[in-house]
């Protein structure tokens, strides 16, 4: 029995060692290309041709730590409102509300999302790499990146929903404990800030537009791409995605 256990243990060790070796080898064989676009955007690409899809993440140094203390929640509000409508982009690009944007993404079989964390504001695109579909998805994503409408009536509605959710969360012990922890650990540092109904009331569409103009610029973008694209195709994709942002 003792010998059997020793044999099993030895085999398990060899299997684990082999798994680690092959995992490390796989990563070693996975080249990560990196370059800087003429716009100043920094790009990382991993070519993965097995599946005709691509995942793109565009990051900006525009997270919650950039929020003015009286307007905590500003970065998250900018992320939220990016999917609520875009302005007109030209003769063949009329303005679109959130329902029209949702239908457009469904027609493309693609998705585009935004989210704000403490240190960054991130936009994520997933699409098939069929040239026509990817081009249309990139152009639509570029409009959401560069031309959010920040419609006042939509923001009032979303702010009311958010404020109600905050008030409901404040009745939970976990939320109260989390606030106390942040206050004790971070003090007056921006990491300790949290959106409240009062700070949201101080955010107006003009503040969202000013935040967007200050932090969402092509030169500030960091773009990560994984999918069935060559470097040339990835460069075209990045240029399209960032084409509506200020240089």
Secondary structure of 188-221 as H, E, C letters: CCHHHCCCCHHHHHCCCHHHHHHHHHHHCCHHHC
> Given pLDDT bands bounded at 50, 70 and 90, which one contains residue 10?
very low
Taking only the tens place, the pLDDT of each residue in 158-198 is 999 999 999 999 899 998 898 889 888 988 888 888 999 99
Token pair in block for residue 61: 């140094």
Average pLDDT, the chain: 89
Tell me what the mean pLDDT of segment 87-104 comes to: 94
Specify the DSSP class assigned to residue 243: T
pLDDT for the residue numbered 22: 44
Looking at 97-101, 106-110, 186-190, 199-203, which range is the least confident one?
A: 186-190
9: confidence class by pLDDT, cuts 50, 70, 90: very low
- Chain segment 117-168, per-residue pLDDT in tens: 999 999 999 999 999 999 999 999 999 999 999 999 999 999 999 999 999 9
Beta-bridge partner residues of 14 = none
Categorize the per-residue pLDDT at 94 as very low, low, confident or very high, splitting at 50, 70 and 90: very high
Closest CA to 85 of 67, 71, 72, 103: 103
33 contacts 44 by C-beta, under 8 angstroms: yes
């Amino acid at each position: 029995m003792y010998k059997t256990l020793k044999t099993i243990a030895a085999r398990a060790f060899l299997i684990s060692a082999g798994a680690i070796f092959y995992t490390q080898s796989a990563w070693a064989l996975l080249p990560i290309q990196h370059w800087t676009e003429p716009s100043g955007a920094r790009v990382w690409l991993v070519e993965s041709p097995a599946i005709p899809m691509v995942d793109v993440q565009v990051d900006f140094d525009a997270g919650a730590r950039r929020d003015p203390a009286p307007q905590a929640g500003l970065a998250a509000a900018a992320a939220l409102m990016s999917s609520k409508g875009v302005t007109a982009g030209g003769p063949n690009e009329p303005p679109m509300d959130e329902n029209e944007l949702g239908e457009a993404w469904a027609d493309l079989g693609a998705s585009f999302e935004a989210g704000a964390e403490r240190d960054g504001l991130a936009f994520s695109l997933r699409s098939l790499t069929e040239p026509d579909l990817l081009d249309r998805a990139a152009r639509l994503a570029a409009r959401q990146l560069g031309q959010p409408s920040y419609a006042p009536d939509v923001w009032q509605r979303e702010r009311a929903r958010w404020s109600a959710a905050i008030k409901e969360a404040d009745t939970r012990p976990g939320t109260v404990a989390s606030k106390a922890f942040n206050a004790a650990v971070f003090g007056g540092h921006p990491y300790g800030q949290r959106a409240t109904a009062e700070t949201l009331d101080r955010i107006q569409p003009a503040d969202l537009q000013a935040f967007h103009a200050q932090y969402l610029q092509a030169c500030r973008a960091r773009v990560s791409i994984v999918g069935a694209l060559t470097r040339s195709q990835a460069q075209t994709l990045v240029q399209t995605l960032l084409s509506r942002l200020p240089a």
